[in-house]
Amino acid sequence: MLDQGAGTHTAMRLVAAEELKLPVEKIRIRTLDTSEVGPDTGIGASRGTRIFGSATRSAAVEARERLLEAASKKLELPREQIELRGDGTLQTATGQTVSYADVAAFGGGLRSGS
């Protein structure tokens, strides 16, 4: 993701943090090398925030759903009884907590295809 000084990296971290209920400091940006991606027409001004923001939100929503599904399997509870707490843990309706890291390890890393 390109950041030409318009704060794109910060904006994407904020979007992901909101969806994943994490402090923004816990969200990291991975900048790709141009040899790892295809050609691009470029971005200008705040257009990058709109385009990258939509993609970031979609990815964060997918990550949240995978996290909740894996937690449901790990804890053997219905997904509806598990929620993100906002501190890197999930909490069940009974008060049990489990870290995102433990759930991700159980779920095989929760990586997506994109």
29-52 in b/e burial notation, b at 16+ Cβ within 10 A? eeeeeeeeeeeeeebeeeebbeeb
The pLDDT tens digits of the residues spanning 71-111 come to 999 999 999 999 998 888 899 988 899 999 899 888 665 55
- Hey, what domains does the chain have and what are their CATH numbers? 8-34+45-106 (3.30.365.10)
pTM of the model as a whole: 0.73
pLDDT exceeds cutoff 90 at 14 = yes
3-state DSSP helix/strand/coil % of the chain, to nearest 5: 50, 10, 40
